[in-house]
Chain A
Amino acid sequence: MNLLLEALAWLLSPERLEGSDSLPRAVLVHLAYTFAAVAIAAAVAVPAGWAIGHTGRGREIAVGLAGAARAIPSFGLILLLVLLLGVTNKPEAALIAFVLLAIPSILAGAYAGLEAVDRATIDAARAQGMTGWQVLWRVEAPLGLPLLVAGIRSAVLQVVATVTLAAYVNLGGLGFDILQGLQLRRFEQVLGGAIAVAALALLLDAVFALLQRAAAPGHLRRAGRGPASRPLVGAPA
Chain B
Amino acid sequence: MSWVADNAGLIAALTLEHLRHSVLPIVWGLAVSLPLGWIAHRWRLVRSPLIVATGLLYTLPSLALLPLLPVVFGISALSELNLLLALTIYAVAILVRAVADGFDSVDPDVRRAAVAVGYGPARRFWGVELPLAGPVILAGVRVAAVSTIALATVGILIGVTNLGYLFTNGFQRRIVEEILAGVVAVALVALLVDLLLQLAGRALMPWTRAHTAGAGRAAGALA
Residue contact B68 to A202, C-beta cutoff 8 Å: no
A178 lies within 8 A of chain B by Cβ: yes
Q: Which of A76, A82, A157, A160 contacts B153 (CB 8 A)?
A: A76
Q: Closest residue of chain A to B155, judged by CB?
A: A75
Interface residues of B in 68-123 (CB under 8 A from A): 68, 71, 77-78, 90, 93-94, 97-98
What residues of chain A lie closer than 8 Å to B170, measured between beta carbons?
79, 83
Q: Closest residue of chain B to A178, judged by CB?
A: B63
Q: C-beta contact mask, B149-185 vs A, less than 8 Å → 1, else 0?
A: 1110110011000011011101100101001101100
A1 to B67: give the CA distance in the assembly, Å: 13
A190 to B63: give the CA distance in the assembly, Å: 9
- Are A83 and B171 CB-contacts (below 8 A) given A70-B147, A71-B186, A205-B56? yes
Residue contact A235 to B150, C-beta cutoff 8 Å: yes
Give the size range of B's interface with the partner: 35 or more
Residue contact B150 to A178, C-beta cutoff 8 Å: no
Residue contact B67 to A187, C-beta cutoff 8 Å: yes
What residues of chain B lie closer than 8 Å to A73, measured between beta carbons?
150-151, 153, 163-164, 167, 182-183, 186-187
Residue contact A236 to B68, C-beta cutoff 8 Å: no
A154 to B176: give the CA distance in the assembly, Å: 30
A72 lies within 8 A of chain B by Cβ: yes
Main secondary structure of the interface of A (DSSP, over half): helix
Q: C-beta contact mask, A64-99 vs B, less than 8 Å → 1, else 0?
A: 000110111111110110111000000000000000
**Chain B nearest Cβ from A137, distance in angstroms:** 24
Residue contact A67 to B146, C-beta cutoff 8 Å: yes
What residues of chain A lie closer than 8 Å to B77, measured between beta carbons?
182, 187, 190
Residue contact A3 to B71, C-beta cutoff 8 Å: yes
Interface residues of B in 13-66 (CB under 8 A from A): 55-56, 58-66
Q: Which of B63, B97, B187 contacts A175 (CB 8 A)?
A: B63
A106 to B194: give the CA distance in the assembly, Å: 23
A237 to B150: give the CA distance in the assembly, Å: 8
Residue contact A76 to B183, C-beta cutoff 8 Å: yes
A165 lies within 8 A of chain B by Cβ: yes
B223 lies within 8 A of chain A by Cβ: yes
What residues of chain A lie closer than 8 Å to B183, measured between beta carbons?
72-73, 76-77, 80
Residue contact B143 to A70, C-beta cutoff 8 Å: yes
What residues of chain A lie closer than 8 Å to B179, measured between beta carbons?
76, 79-80, 83
A52 lies within 8 A of chain B by Cβ: no
**Chain B nearest Cβ from A25, distance in angstroms:** 18
A230 lies within 8 A of chain B by Cβ: yes
A157 to B65: give the CA distance in the assembly, Å: 14
Residue contact A71 to B164, C-beta cutoff 8 Å: no
Residue contact A191 to B71, C-beta cutoff 8 Å: yes
Main secondary structure of the interface of B (DSSP, over half): helix
Pick out which of these stretches binds chain B: A10-18, A41-49, A121-129, A192-200.
A192-200
**Chain B nearest Cβ from A54, distance in angstroms:** 14
Q: Closest residue of chain B to A2, judged by CB?
A: B71
A194 to B64: give the CA distance in the assembly, Å: 4
Residue contact B64 to A201, C-beta cutoff 8 Å: yes
B190 lies within 8 A of chain A by Cβ: yes
**Chain A nearest Cβ from B29, distance in angstroms:** 12
A212 lies within 8 A of chain B by Cβ: no
A76 to B180: give the CA distance in the assembly, Å: 8
What residues of chain A lie closer than 8 Å to B78, measured between beta carbons?
182
What residues of chain A lie closer than 8 Å to B197, measured between beta carbons?
none
- Are A84 and B176 CB-contacts (below 8 A) given A75-B164, A191-B71? yes
Which of A4, A229, A235 gathers the greatest number of chain B CB atoms within 10 Å?
A: A235
Interface residues of A in 153-175 (CB under 8 A from B): 157, 160-161, 164-165, 168-169, 175
Q: Which of A74, A83, A164, A194 contacts B68 (CB 8 A)?
A: A194
CB<8 Å pairs between A and B, sample of 16: A56-B223, A71-B149, A71-B194, A73-B167, A73-B183, A76-B166, A165-B63, A168-B171, A191-B67, A191-B68, A194-B64, A197-B64, A202-B60, A232-B143, A235-B151, A236-B61
Q: Closest 7 CB pairs between A and B?
A: A161-B61, A235-B147, A71-B190, A194-B67, A197-B64, A198-B64, A76-B183
